Amino acid sequence: MATKHHSHQLRIGRHSESGQIYLLTAVIVNRHPVCSSFSAGRIVVDAFRKAQQERLASTLAFVVMPDHFHWLIELQDISLSKLMGRTKSRTTVALNRELRREGPLWQPGFHDRAIRKEEDLQAVARYIVANPVRAGLAGKVGDYPLWDATWL
């Protein structure tokens, strides 16, 4: 049975606000573990760094998993859709070249959650970077190479 994507529903009510902190998640098509190697995962990390250099978003924390990523950012002068479009496009081109593959890499759409001011950002960051431990990919956070957080 084919998986139905609900990317059109992910856009309903989406609001982009400069200075707002968001948790963004994107998933690779069919959850194929394209980023299971360090070099492939670094391509995604480099795209996060490029977005920061271009002053599109300030990265607060991230983790690149084999089949998805979580990215905690403070949005700057761009919409969420444009930021994610650029990031997914950059990583698709670079990963397709690196892995000698063709075609779409990311599922359409992405998930975003605005972080409320009263939420503990460090707790959100810890949750993000502990993802590999919960998935059984590492015994402790420091054992997994594809994460970072401004506080840790």
Q: Are 106 and 26 contacting, i.e. CB atoms less than 8 angstroms apart?
A: yes
- Write down the pLDDT at residue 108: 96
CATH of domain 17-139: 3.30.70.1290
pLDDT of amino acid 9 = 45
- pLDDT for 14 equals 62
Q: So what's the pLDDT on residue 3?
A: 45
pLDDT at position 139 is: 96
Task: Let me know how long the chain is.
Answer: 152
| CB-CB contact of 70 with 78 (8 Å) | no
Question: d(Cα 110, Cα 8) in Å, to the nearest integer?
Answer: 10
Q: How confident is the chain (152 residues) per 10-residue block, as mean pLDDT?
A: 45 72 97 97 98 96 98 96 97 97 96 90 94 97 95 72
d(CA 28, CA 103): 12
What's the CA gap between 57 and 73, in Å, rounded?
6
Other CB atoms within a 10 A radius of the CB of residue 87 amount to 23
Model confidence pTM above 0.85: yes
* pLDDT at 89 (0 to 100): 97
Question: pLDDT at position 6, please?
Answer: 46
Tell me if residue 74 falls in helix, strand or coil: strand
Rounded-to-integer distance, Cα 122 and Cα 104, Å? 33
